[in-house]
Amino acid sequence: MSVHINAKKGEVAESVLLPGDPMRAKWIADYFLENVMQYNDVRGMLGYTGTYKGKRVSVQGTGMGIPSTLIYAHELINEFGVKNLIRVGSAGSYQKEVKIRDIVIAMAASTNSGLNTIRFNGADYAPTASFDLFQKAIKVAEQKGIAIKAGNILSSDEFYADDFNDFKKWADYGVLCVEMETNGLYTVAAKHNVNALSILTISDSLVTKERTTSEEREQTFKEMIEIALELA
């Protein structure tokens, strides 16, 4: 057991899907996994282990934002021996070509968080996806006929920016979409020499102002889960 995860040793699989929303974790376990056991309920941040096509896989909510995600990723890696951390999250589009329900794989994650500048004494660190998981995800998506987009994303510290037009600067530099966790996830995975990948589904667009409902964000977005589960 760790501070935030009350699983016993061995109850968490080597590969873990990481949605921000703990209710999406429950939905993934209910909808996709067999032989499911719930291993975590601390703070309502639900975690489950089950099997997918006979392979053991876990799914753990992380909460929202880099600080919360760092807690779960750190404990999963250091206390439970997790080797593959695959985020399955929602994101807001920054580009008109990136449309609602599109899937974006984060090759790299920029941020406005100060955590890495503190960690690296004022210098920038560029956290990137695991090349191995990235390559596999591209292959799986091709096999399943699922279109994906891939590139740089923004992990923002705030959901409600003072000025929503701030996104245009990031968009000009080719950033595809915004979410709130990947920069931290890729950094902690690099530190501990394990694999991390973020697969995101566009839930809303800062360009067109369209958006999906919270229920859709919790219970749909099946294609990114299907890709993620094949990487486990």
Ligand X SMILES: O=P(O)(O)O[C@H]1O[C@H](CO)[C@@H](O)[C@H]1O
Ligand Y SMILES: O=c1cc[nH]c(=O)[nH]1
Enumerate the active-site residues: 204
Nearer to ligand Y, 131 or 159 (CB): 159
Q: Which of residues 124-163 bind ligand Y (CB under 6 A)?
A: 156, 159
In terms of DSSP bridges, do strands 55-60 and 148-155 run parallel, antiparallel, or are they unpaired?
unpaired
Q: Which is nearer to ligand Y, 204 or 218 (CB)?
A: 204
User: C-beta of 70: minimal distance to ligand Y in Å?
Assistant: 16
Q: Which of 165, 161, 155 is nearest to 70 (CA)?
A: 155
Contact (CB, 8 A) for 160 and 92:
no
CB of 8 to ligand X, least distance (A): 26
123 pairs with which residues across the strands? none
Q: Give the closest residue to 16 by CA, choosing from 43, 45, 44, 166.
A: 45
Query: Cβ closer to ligand Y: 11 or 179?
Result: 179
Choosing from 19, 61, 92, 184, the residue that interacts with ligand Y (CB under 6 A) is 92
C-beta atoms surrounding 107 within 10 Å: 17
Per-position x/- string for 191-220, each x denoting binding to ligand Y as judged by CB under 6 A, each - no binding = ------------xx----------------
Residue nearest ligand Y, Cβ-based? 92
Interface residues with ligand X (CB under 6 A) are 19-21, 64, 89-90, 159, 179-181, 217
**Tokens matching residue 152:** 């740089």
Residue 204 site contact among ligand X, ligand Y, none (CB < 5 to 8 Å, cut-off depends on kind):
ligand Y
**What is the 8-class DSSP label of residue 42?**
G
Binding of ligand Y by 178 (CB under 6 A): yes
Whose Cβ is closer to ligand X: residue 90's or residue 195's? 90
| DSSP bridge partners of 40 | 47
Instruction: Give the whole-angstrom CA distance, residue 94 versus residue 219.
Output: 23
Token pair for 62: 């992380």
Cα separation, 128 vs 198, in Å, equals 10
Partner whose footprint covers residue 181, from ligand X, ligand Y, none (CB < 5 to 8 Å by kind): ligand X
Residue 40: phi, psi to the nearest 5? -135, 135
102 binds ligand Y (CB under 6 A): no
Residue ranges that bind ligand Y, judged by CB under 6 A: 90-92, 156, 159, 178-180, 203-204
